[in-house]
Amino acid sequence: MIFWDAQRDPWFSELARLQKSMNKVFSALGEDPNSPEFFVKRSRLFPPINVRKQEGEYKIIAEIPGVKADEIELSVQGGTLTIRGERKPEILGEDVSYHRRERSHGAFQRSVSLPDTVDASNIGANYKNGVLTITMPMDKASGPRKIAVSAE
């Protein structure tokens, strides 16, 4: 029987070196890659959105519960729509402790590339019951058109 010694295996030591290097990178960014929350934070995009095209317009529906309408910032620049805001933490008394804490708080930003057919000057937004609906009409001039061919 042959026993495998992971510490002497060149592949194992190379993987261990790579892991240490990646941990240094994330630590420099202020993140602890060994914390349980690290991968949960990285795997979740906030706010969750749906993007759809219907009847001559695009709609983005974003779920942003717990944020007031005047605390949401929308901007369009260079063909990109950006949603920014901040969910503030609940302020609880000192005698309160959590059994489970899954709702995050803090600043958020989500960007969506817009198709060339969007009329960026007529984008509208409505916020109701924690759901932001952004309506983006299609530019009529950018639709398909026929081009006449002239002969000489």
Contacts of 98 (CB under 8 A, 6+ apart): none
* CA–CA gap between residue 27 and residue 147 (Å, rounded): 58
Checking if the pLDDT of 84 tops 70, the result is yes
Higher pLDDT, 57 or 146: 57
In the DSSP assignment, the letter for residue 122 is G
Q: Rg for the chain (alpha carbons), in Å?
A: 24
- Which pLDDT does position 120 carry in this prediction? 87
* Residue among 55, 36, 43, 53 nearest 112 (CA): 53
Checking if the pLDDT of 111 tops 90, the result is yes
For 19, phi then psi, to 5°, come to -60, -45
* CA–CA gap between residue 59 and residue 48 (Å, rounded): 14
Q: Is 136 left (phi over 0), alpha (psi -120 to 50) or beta?
A: beta
Q: Which CATH code, of 1.20.90.10, 3.20.20.70, 2.60.40.790, 2.60.120.260, is assigned to 47-91+104-141?
A: 2.60.40.790
| CB 118, CB 58: distance < 8 Å | yes
- Which pLDDT does position 37 carry in this prediction? 61
Tokens of 17: 């070196």
For 49, phi then psi, to 5°, come to -130, 155
For the chain, the domains span 8-44, 47-91+104-141
Checking if the pLDDT of 127 tops 80, the result is yes
Q: What is the pLDDT of residues 6-65, one digit of tens each?
A: 566 666 778 788 888 887 777 766 666 566 565 555 545 788 999 999 888 999 999 999
